[in-house]
Amino acid sequence: MKKCLIIGNGKAPEKKTILFLMKKGFDTIICADGGLNHAHKLKIIPHYIIGDFDSVDKRLLESYRDKSNIIQIKRQDDTDIEKCLKYAVKQKFSEAVLLSVTGDRLDHSFCNLGIALKFHDKINVRVISETSLLTVYEKQVSFAAKNGEYISLYAFDNKTKITSQGLKYPLRETRLPFGVRESTSNVAVKEEVKLNIKNGRIFVIRDFETMEKNDLFS
């Protein structure tokens, strides 16, 4: 399985997060345009730098000509993160983790979270934002959890129904349409959580640091 990390131009990631994920097999690093600024400060050399290059210092970009594969895509009908994901799909990567895709621009943050939904059929996309890990799930899924761990669930329309096992506040064919009802800060009460998701996809947000310390990231 080919896995990649995509670094955006949002709030800077922590180097320890990148190194941890590289040990987990996410060893191809792609910078989306201004994401190179973060990689450079962290002294991490990306394999690819992709974008229209309106957010990166041109002299810095030129200094990576002999270190990284630089791919300029000038079209404006998709974002630089989308450009990176389309390239990853073309190169047959099966998983991608997005870093630095949230920050002080709420519109950019909202867009990048939506991208995880948009590309779900093509590549398994997860988002890490500071201490949170966002994953898209559908149908039936089970995952290891730590007793007492916060687990939040969000759906997007009234058709999606969720049934859970292993959560303090159980869901039974529960609808969680965005902006109407949420399951924020639910709590794991067993070492395994099971979800049965009908008629749609949901976001599950968990504590990345808890998962990292307990080696639960896969």
All structural domains of the chain with their residue ranges: 3-130, 135-213
Residue whose C-alpha is closest to residue 146's, from 52, 215, 89, 98: 215
Residue 215 has pLDDT above 80, yes or no: no
pLDDT bucket at 214, cuts 50 / 70 / 90: very low
Dihedral sign, Cα of residue 68, residue 69, residue 70, residue 75: negative
Q: Looking at domain 3-130, which CATH architecture does it have?
A: 3-Layer(aba) Sandwich (3.40)
Element (H, E) at 109: helix 106-118
Q: Angle at CA 135, nearest 5°, toward 106 and 140?
A: 140
Q: Is 2 exposed, middle or buried (0-12, 13-18, 19+ CB in 10 A)?
A: middle
d(Cα 95, Cα 26) in Å, to the nearest integer? 8
Tally of CA atoms within 13 A in the half-sphere of 33 that contains its CB: 18
Q: Compute the average pLDDT of residues 210-217.
A: 54
Q: Compute the average pLDDT of residues 139-165.
A: 93
pLDDT at res. 216: 47
Q: What is the mean pLDDT of the chain?
A: 91
Distances (CA, A) of 165 to 34, 108, 169: 42, 34, 9
Residue 217 has pLDDT above 60, yes or no: no
Distances (CA, A) of 111 to 44, 47, 73, 81: 26, 25, 19, 10
pLDDT at res. 126: 94
pLDDT bucket at 56, cuts 50 / 70 / 90: confident
Tens digits of per-residue pLDDT, 99-120? 999 877 888 888 889 999 999 9
Element (H, E) at 81: helix 80-90
pLDDT at res. 119: 94
Instruction: Please give the CATH number for the structural domain made up of 135-213.
Output: 3.40.50.10240
Residue 213 has pLDDT above 80, yes or no: no
Q: Please tell me which residue, 56 or 163, carries the higher pLDDT value.
A: 163
